[in-house]
Amino acid sequence: MAAVPAALAGGQSAPARQWRVVARPPGFLDVIIAPAASSAWAFGWIGKSNGLIAPVARHWNGRRWASITMPRGVNDSGRACAGASSPGNVWAFSGAGVSLGNPPATASALRLRHGRWVLRKSFPGSYVTGCNVLSPRNVWVSGGTVAGLGPGVGTWHLTRSGWAPVNTGNLVLFKASVASANDIWATGADITDHGLRITPVVARWNGSAWVQHRSISAALPKPASQTG
């Protein structure tokens, strides 16, 4: 028979768990990942008065938060996404932020190696909007245009052969959720009309190609002058 807490046995409510502030870094924090109980990473960005973007990075070692220095090659960009398949396979992606109307100068993939972030790949474009880390040799990253500020990186896939762009045609992928390596769902947009009319879609990776599922349109508001 399970034990009953004394407070409940006496008719009192158990104290509610609450969120509390543990760190106040500058700028914005958009990304957090905790690959282990004693290791968490929080990322973001801050716009500078000179129009550049500075990354914000903090690490929790199980006792306290500490500021982290990122590789110099990705300084003018905020962190957009992070993922891990294990404590030994942790990735972060730059490609976020805006400062005085300027988009990020770089979009890159970084991997955590022996406690340090190492630049592993630079992508064309400015913005990363989503990433999924399935294994050390199976990583997805996607990026669509953000509010017209700058181009997205498109869709890229890391396999045993290395990083390669994935041709998705008129389909722009933003974020994805993984059921398995051959079953991935993503939110996206169909830009067949060259931006004149953008159709929201859901896409599914079947192990060899991304396939649109336009049936989602039946559950969405009809496009109108005030609804895009």
pLDDT in tens, 41-54: 999 999 999 999 99
142 DSSP β-pair partners: 130, 155
3-class secondary structure, 222: coil
The residue among 146 and 121 whose pLDDT is bigger is 121
The residue among 136 and 190 whose pLDDT is bigger is 136
Q: Specify the range with the lowest mean pLDDT, choosing from 8-17, 74-83, 170-179, 182-191.
A: 8-17
The residue-averaged pLDDT of 96-100 equals 92
pTM (2 decimals)?
0.86
Q: Per-residue confidence at 147, pLDDT binned at 50, 70, 90?
A: low
CB contact set of 25 (below 8 Å; sequence gap of 6+):
42, 44, 56, 58, 67
The residue-averaged pLDDT of 147-176 equals 92
- Which tens digit of pLDDT belongs to each residue from 64-84? 999 998 888 888 999 999 999
Residue of 94, 75, 90 lying closest to 30 (CA atoms):
94
3-class secondary structure, 67: strand
Domains present along the chain, CATH in parentheses: 24-126 (2.40.128), 167-222 (no CATH)
CB contact set of 77 (below 8 Å; sequence gap of 6+):
45, 53, 55, 94, 95, 96, 97, 104, 105, 106, 107, 108
Residue 6 has pLDDT above 60, yes or no: no
The residue-averaged pLDDT of 2-21 equals 67
